[in-house]
Amino acid sequence: MKTLKIYAIALFFCTCLTSPLLGQEIDSTIEPRERLSLVTSQGTVTDIVKETREVTLKGPDGELVTVTAGPEVERFNEIAVGDKINFDYYTYLKAEFRAPTATELAEPLVVLEGEGKASVEEAPAGAVGTMIKAVVTIEILNRPKMLATVEGPNGNYLTIPMKDAAFMEQLHIGQVLILTYAEAMAISLTKADSE
């Protein structure tokens, strides 16, 4: 009988605590985020793909970014793995925090022909390069330095500076999201002065 009373009391409290929530839809999704940025940094070259002019750089805080050297980058062939270089590039990002569709999982990397192209009057947005939509995974969350690093389906990395600590607390390692981004188009790559 004593056990029955305990269950009845527990049921009463559970009903009282949850009844205000009944009929309310609890939104557990994170709103999409979008941003265009000019990034200026210094980093060490960790990988070069000469055919596509892609350079992977490790920045001063350990962040990784793969950039494509635009046609205005001269002396590209003189850059080697291990070089410390200064670089400027534009990025465009739109992150959708939702489960990927079956189509997105089947084709996790898609080039969006003609989407997101800026008109001539909207520079510098036109400098960001080809728009890509990809299923990515969060690999590193550096909360003290406010950086999130994602890995794309081809093994490329992108480190995203975060501005909102409360928002960053909602993210976790291994989280999959849909990222629409412009391939980082480097507008300058120059060897840093040796110290």
3-state secondary structure of 43: strand
Query: At which residue do the structure tokens 């793909």 appear?
Result: 49
Ranges in the chain, pLDDT < 50 = 1-28, 114-126, 195
What pTM does this model have? 0.55
- State the pLDDT at residue 127: 52
Mean pLDDT of the chain: 76
* Domain interval for residue 91: 30-191
The CATH number that applies at residue 151 is 2.40.50.320
Instruction: Provide the number of structural domains found in the chain.
Output: 1
CB contact set of 125 (below 8 Å; sequence gap of 6+): 36, 90, 92, 118
Other C-beta atoms closer than 10 Å to the C-beta of 112 total 13
Asked whether residue 24 is assigned to any structural domain, the reply reads no
Distance CA 76, CA 55 (A): 10
